Chain A
Amino acid sequence: MSYPEDLRYTKEHEWVRVAGDVGTIGITDHAQKELGDIVYVDLPKVGAHIEQGKSLGSVESVKAVSDIYSPVSGEVTEVNETLAQAPEKLNQDPHGAAWLIKLRLSAPNEAKGLLSAADYQAYVGAES
């Protein structure tokens, strides 16, 4: 899978799409492949404050749990409720329909320090 150019990425395999002061966060295709079949996602509630680099929740496969580290800081404005019923969406469309949360960014410039699609592609290419 190619990594969308309009997203910024972290080395812990999360992505963020910034539009004004709204950030949409998810995990990358690489992450979902590593996890295998995803069975559950644990997400914060609307109104929660998230800090860049801190855990915002976790994603589970049958045999493992992985923390999700937020690429940016802000207040949670929306949570993707469809993932509760259909966590498999994360395996199918990790960069699109299976976004995790939306934040009102407290520091929109944070995203600039993250990896570009090309850098991330190189990073995971090197890792595997």
Chain B
Amino acid sequence: MEGTERVFERLVLDHQNRIYALSLALTGNRHDAEEVAQDTFLRAYRALATYPPDRIRDLKQRAWLHRIAVNVVRNRVRGVRPRLVELNGSEPARGPGPEEDVMRQAEIDELAARVACLPARYREAVVLRHVQDLSYAEAAEALGQPVGTVKANVHRGLKLLRGETHGDRDD
């Protein structure tokens, strides 16, 4: 049991930034991102507690956490469009990190909201492939979809994003 707790602490410290970034890109606002990221780690913790030691040792943590996060988002937003309006002021004053100045944060928020406008199946694919920089194989694994499907969804998602923001070339 002690072992699981150490593994989990490492897991949180190693992956918190990536999983938070993933959650932000998938949900489109910081409030939901925090909830999704927390939920992801809590599910991971509950799962770890039931795994035998060799399974924990062989775990591909990054892919595994991505898969959990995708499922958390799918479960919460099932049938519901993501919230696009950030409710400013309802958030406790957690503020940006030291390097993240306000301008940059506003840009990021706008970007995240734009990605959140994509239909879920495109959004997941685009975020895993281009925000999180997973390979197509890893993304397919995390999404539980064939590689071909993921490729097609990434392509269509990017096309939509470009169409909305620039409206020019089609590639």
Q: Do A and B bind each other?
A: no
Residues of B bordering A, CB below 8 Å: none
